[in-house]
Amino acid sequence: MSGSILRALKYAVLATALGMPATAQSLSADSEQILAAYQGDWRGSGEARPNFRSEPTRVTCRISARYKPSETALVNEGRCGTTQGARDLKGKLAIAGEELTGDFLGAAANYGLLNPRLRIAENMIVSEAEVEDAGKMVRVRTFITPPQDDTFLVQSQYYDRASESWIVSSEIEFRRQ
């Protein structure tokens, strides 16, 4: 795969993946139920930018998620791709004590992320990190809405210093199969 395809998939996977350990935080008793709600087979489609300055490209994903109560973990396998190539993904998101840890879809998702933070807020899974782009650090964040009516949305954003605002870099809607 070419570098631009890998970058597009990287940003798409960042949008879907949450590949980062959490900082210490207090998780609510509902956290297990929140993770369990993602159990199932999902198909997603949307757009992601190969880099922060490029036009979005179409992305499709399939994810199979299984909740394991004995491990308090959501185990995932999937595949995301563009018209120019695809990548297999595999990961695990778990509650360990008072922390949310793991990498939702594997190492491809967390490549290049610095200062990652992962948490559950307002029933959403939220990731925040920094990534280097053109020699500058850029703040990025991803929100995964809770499944509702067999649909959830994954939206990634980056902070644009010039406009002093958050810009949507990827958005993928998943539907239960």
Contact in structure between 155 and 171 (CB atoms under 8 Å) = yes
Is pTM, for the whole model, over 0.85? no
Q: What is the pLDDT of residues 119-164, one digit of tens each?
A: 888 889 998 999 888 889 999 999 999 999 999 999 999 999 999 9
Q: How many folded domains does the chain comprise? A: 1
The number of angstroms, rounded, from the C-alpha of 82 to the middle of its chain's C-alpha atoms is: 17
Lowest mean pLDDT among 11-20, 90-99, 107-116, 166-175: 11-20
> Which two structure tokens, joined as six digits, stand for 105?
């879809």
What CATH number has the domain bearing residue 89?
Answer: 2.40.128.20
Domain that holds residue 68: 3-176
More confident residue, 6 or 74: 74
Q: What is the pLDDT of residues 107-127, one digit of tens each?
A: 555 567 788 888 888 889 998
Cα dihedral sign, 63-140-138-166 = positive
Q: What is the pLDDT of residues 30-81, one digit of tens each?
A: 889 999 999 999 999 999 887 788 889 999 999 999 999 999 999 999 999 9
The single-letter code of the amino acid at 125 is: I
